[in-house]
Structure 1
């Protein structure tokens, strides 16, 4: 089968360690099932792995990919939930030994991936495989940030920092879907135009909001942290799930305590949250923005586009496994 692999890591030249190659089909594993991938979405996580950030060298080579959608063994159309853990905490995102597909086991950038049987989420029939493949990481993370950690409610004001990012653009769409007023920042004209197309009022980073935010979605870090603190209302919440521009900005603790702000962290989503994310998207007729789709053989081009940045929407790898609508054997063997 075809697979997109990290075979070496280089912080300065991450694409030098990218390989598209033929691999044996995965071995059966008790409690796990094979999913024949039709579409998979790129994430910054994949690029960090190629750079060697958060991914030990001893786990290389490894098949990349956290997001994917395809066919279960019975032929049903499914979305793959990507987070792994032992379940002891009850909330997998709090498991100190949690991992993602492509971190400790091969990921979704392959014709077939093995996943725990309970990690299959039904794909809505009206949603394309490419759209479905964008949901687990970006939309699942945004859902948890907004509703589980941020307690966003209809009619509230939400500020999303860094609108062009996958999680940020997902947060705009999900917040709009429940009736929130959404403002979003981007440093580029194209990014602000993209935010506007998603239904947000676009601002330059640091721009003054017409009203203070109840909830701030923060994935940018140092470059926007001061603005997030100024833009949120007294008693409001800043939900942090990333720090792409640095994780050590001035804390400004006097502002935090004087205005009684809540600052909460958020990581990924639970399986239940992904189910709820899919239901919300399906019922709201949201269409995840897709910037481009590449056949798996052109994976390097897709990664080059991700590396270049300023991609308005998600990049997709297509595995063209949908033509035969295959049924995989129930005993986990791969034909």
Structure 2
């Protein structure tokens, strides 16, 4: 029987209302339906997506007064009828697209947590068990909460085109945000040569600690620097989080791949199609990833013992402060909100 206290606290937001629009309310949790589980949320993490929702700039629909944040991890505390994947006590992570189990992203798989569906910034949530994956056994809840958006996007960007990353390839990451910091570690796990651009000397040192082979000043002519460091050949892959595809093409090897992840600046410079033909380039927009990709990635994380850099952990009642810190400080590493005090504890 589900005996969990159904009176829970949750932070709600309406797209475009800004960070000040985050509202903490108490309400009743719905009962469990067939195939559903109740998850006591222990930690959530912020990604740039959450700022876009607050600003009214997110590309996908967001329902009014949605429970905020897509990325979270917790413990299953009750299972509904016919739920077979998880049992009480299991440590789990939510997938951003609950209906995207495998294969390509299709319109019917677009509903997302913290968007058209209520998100994870709550004491507890009820989710279909198909929307969950086991948390990596070596990670705390705070670490596991960083996986659904940033880590899975990085993994999809590196492997989702079917070619994969292999030893000797050169991979370039633009910037030092959550996707890039995960991509550095994942690409190194595949034995690639990893370059990262940044404008911060302090972040450069941290990126090298994660495994970056070369750190390049993003304020300079970084495409030429990539060319020089590869003997003129160029990079096999570029993970473009800045939306600067023309510059990414300048440093790309023949038949190379650009994973277009977003445009942090909000600017989209014009693209000359002749530049695509000149390098026989593939440009692929990356939208996180499927549950199947998540499960494969988690297996790699466990084998390699990889962990995310975490910049700061805020308590649940300081959600607005967490958003503001993430927006204004441009931190290295993920910003986490601890819903429960043990969020950062290492699992036994």
TM-score, normalised on structure 1?
0.87
- Look up the SS of the partner of 1:229 in the other structure: helix
Say which of 30, 37, 51 aligns to 2:34: 30
Say which of 237, 245, 258 aligns to 1:215: 237
Residue 16 of structure 2: aligned partner: 9
Relative to 1, partners in 2 of residues 1:251 and 1:96: Cα closer, same or farther, differing over 3 Å?
Answer: farther
Which digits, 9 at most, give the CA deviation of each residue in 1:22-65, with x for residues without a partner?
Answer: 22223433332211111111112222111112379982211101
- 1:76 Cα shift? 1.0
Say which of 298, 302, 307 aligns to 1:287: 307
* Contact 2:49–2:58 (CA under 8 A) maintained in structure 1: no
- 1:199 Cα shift? 1.4
CA distance in 2: counterparts of 1:178 and 1:96, whole angstroms: 33
**Residue 192 (str. 1) matches residue 196 (str. 2):** no
**Residue 157 (str. 1) matches residue 170 (str. 2):** yes
Say which of 78, 98, 115 aligns to 2:92: 78
**Residue 145 (str. 1) matches residue 167 (str. 2):** no
CA distance in 2: counterparts of 1:283 and 1:308, whole angstroms: 35
Residue 246 of structure 2: aligned partner: 226
Which digits, 9 at most, give the CA deviation of each residue in 1:73-126, with x for residues without a partner?
Answer: 311111111213377xx6362336502101122101111112211222112332
Relative to 1, partners in 2 of residues 1:304 and 1:247: Cα closer, same or farther, differing over 3 Å?
Answer: closer
* Contact 2:138–2:305 (CA under 8 A) maintained in structure 1: no
**Residue 130 (str. 1) matches residue 142 (str. 2):** yes
Alignment of 1:1-335 (within 5 A): 1-7=8-14, 9-10=16-17, 14-54=18-58, 59-72=63-76, 73=78, 74-85=88-99, 91=103, 93-95=105-107, 98-149=110-161, 151-162=164-175, 164-200=176-212, 201-205=214-218, 206-207=221-222, 208-209=225-226, 210-211=229-230, 212-222=234-244, 225-246=245-266, 248-320=268-340
* Contact 1:55–1:103 (CA under 8 A) maintained in structure 2: no
- 1:17 Cα shift? 0.5
CA distance in 2: counterparts of 1:285 and 1:133, whole angstroms: 16
Query: Which 5+ residue runs of structure 2 have no aligned equivalent?
Result: 1-7, 79-87, 344-348
Relative to 1, partners in 2 of residues 1:18 and 1:57: Cα closer, same or farther, differing over 3 Å?
Answer: farther
- Look up the SS of the partner of 1:124 in the other structure: coil
CA distance in 2: counterparts of 1:58 and 1:148, whole angstroms: 26
- 1:318 Cα shift? 0.8
Paired residues, number: 315
* Contact 1:83–1:92 (CA under 8 A) maintained in structure 2: no
Cα RMSD for the two superposed structures: 2.2
Relative to 1, partners in 2 of residues 1:292 and 1:277: Cα closer, same or farther, differing over 3 Å?
Answer: same
- Look up the SS of the partner of 1:184 in the other structure: strand
Query: Which 5+ residue runs of structure 1 have no aligned equivalent?
Result: 324-335
Tell me which stretches of 4 or more aligned residues in structure 1 moved more than 6 Å. Answer: 55-58
* Contact 2:98–2:131 (CA under 8 A) maintained in structure 1: no
* Contact 1:8–1:18 (CA under 8 A) maintained in structure 2: no
* Contact 1:86–1:95 (CA under 8 A) maintained in structure 2: no
- Look up the SS of the partner of 1:60 in the other structure: coil
